[in-house]
Amino acid sequence: MRSKWIEYKGKKIFYQDFSKHFFNYQAVKEELVEVQAIVVKQPLDSLLVLTNFTDTAIAGDLMPVLNASSTLTKDHVHKAAVIGVTGIKKHLADMLTRLTGQPLKYFDTEIEAKEWLAQEN
């Protein structure tokens, strides 16, 4: 598993690393299963999440899997930041947000995402 816990400005953040999988949907799905197992064990509305989809395609059969995962884990997430989602991937991610009700905030850089997550809300 590439995803891991990180700390930024005293905040514990779960860094979900789906980057550089390009069109390898199976690798994304396998990582997602492991990520879900960790997320659902966290208290409700407690988790700060940074998800990285840089250089990974989001299309085809991956959307239903992401939708199901988001529905399963959203109640455990307090704030979710996403990097690596632009263009058509952003439209698909917006659709995922509408379907699952899990709000996502998109950032151009990892540091911007971490700064937002570390802010009190």
Q: What is the pLDDT of residue 97?
A: 66
pTM assigned to the model: 0.89
Q: What's at 38, amino acid-wise?
A: I
Domains, the chain, ordered by start: 4-118 (3.30.750)
Q: What is the pLDDT of residue 33?
A: 95
d(CA 49, CA 4): 10
Please list the rounded mean pLDDT of every run of 10 residues in the chain (121 residues). 97 97 92 96 98 87 84 94 79 65 84 95 66
